[in-house]
Amino acid sequence: MNRLIFAILLLIFPTIQGCLQVEDETEDSRIRLATTTSLRDSGLLAEILPDFTQQTGVEVDVIAVGSGAAMTLAENNDVDVLIVHDPEREIQFIEDGFAENRTTFAWNRFVLLGPISMSGSLFEILEWIIENDQCFVSRGDESGTHQKEQTLWRTLSNESTIEFVDDSLGYHPVWDGYQSIGQGMGAAITISDELECWTISDRGTALYRQENTNLNIHDLQETILVNPYSILLMDNEHNTSTLELRDFLLSSASEIDNYKVNNETLFYSGQPNV
């Protein structure tokens, strides 16, 4: 009897072990990436991530949200790795112990989109928008783009007599044309186009969506508009795969630089060159 039980166990054990190995391999071959909507809406991730999967066998589930929402997902261990574009909050995120490091692998600039073409500096145009009661669409979603918008308003407030307020919508001027939508970059551009409003966008998404809107792109070469994208690694069971993703992004400089729409470069690889 004992010999029979022993023989059965010998037959069953390899099967169980094989199932466990398959489960481990499945877990290691899929990671969850929380990323800013601009990398999705610009088409960059769809362009380069298939190559990463082909090279490593690791599938990437992309969760595209604002940078603030992405960090919240990471705090709750709902994702394995982050790509965001909000440097100040990224540094604080690491100091708070939620991530181990950040590596900037690409950048572009923020641009101003509007129903008409205007000349002048960034802040001259923003002041004109407010003083002429133009419609302005804010993402209002605590994203990196929304944070940059608030930085611009704070800078303008230091050199303008326009009234500003800090409320549930963030820091912004007080005027009837200000519309906060709480949505991603693609939605902000669509609504701005339909309502003939102004908005702030990353250059990549603006160029990617240009043919489908009537909005004019104001690509102003001002340092405050520089927009770096970084990958943040966390200490979890997927460290090997997320490290591979970081290394892949750093080695994809030519793919990032050559990703174009209508012969326009959407992103530049590496650290900002300003």
DSSP 174: -
One DSSP character per residue, 113-135 reads: EESS---S-HHHHHHHHHHTT--
Claim to verify: residue 101 and residue 237 sit in the same structural domain: yes
Tell me whether residue 83 is in a domain.
yes
- What is the spatial distance between Cα 82 and Cα 226, in angstroms, rounded to a whole number? 20
Residue 216 forms part of a structural domain: yes
Residue 274, domain member (yes or no): no
Q: Kindly state whether residues 92 and 53 are assigned to the same domain.
A: yes
- Last residue of one domain, picked from the residues 192, 208, 225: 225
Say if residue 163 is in the same domain as residue 98: no
> pLDDT tens digit string along 182-214?
999 999 999 999 999 999 999 999 999 999 999
Residue 115 shares a structural domain with residue 214: yes
**Distances in Å between the alpha carbon of 1 and those of 5, 6, 11, 57, 104?**
6, 9, 16, 46, 65
pLDDT at residue 273, rounded to an integer:
82
Residues paired with residue 224 on neighbouring β-strands, in sequence order? none
Same domain, 212 and 231: no
In a domain, 162, yes or no: yes
Written as one letter, the residue type at 155 is T
Phi, psi of 192 (to 5 degrees): -60, -40
| 216 and 162 share one domain | yes
Residues of the domain holding 259: 2-108+227-269
The tally of domains found in the chain comes to 2
Both 130 and 217 in one domain: the answer is yes
What percent of the chain lies above the pLDDT cut of 70?
89
**CATH number for the domain including 174?**
3.40.190.10
Helix (H) or strand (E) holding 193: helix 185-195
How far is 68 from 207, CA to CA, in rounded Å?
24
Report residue 35: phi and psi, to 5°.
-140, 155
Structure confidence by residue, pLDDT tens digits, 100-120: 999 999 999 999 999 999 999
Shared domain for 114 and 86, answered yes or no, is no
Q: Is residue 63 located within the same domain as residue 86?
A: yes
* Residue 59 confidence (pLDDT) above 50: yes
Asked if residue 143 is part of any domain, the answer here is yes
Is the domain of 127 the same as that of 179?
A: yes
In a shared domain, residues 101 and 236: yes
Contacts of 86 (CB under 8 A, 6+ apart): 67, 68, 143, 144, 147
Residues 11 and 83 in one domain: yes
115 phi and psi angles, rounded to 5 deg: -70, -15
Contact 266, 203 (CB under 8 A): yes
pTM to 2 decimals? 0.86
Q: What is the pLDDT of residues 88-99, one digit of tens each?
A: 999 999 999 999
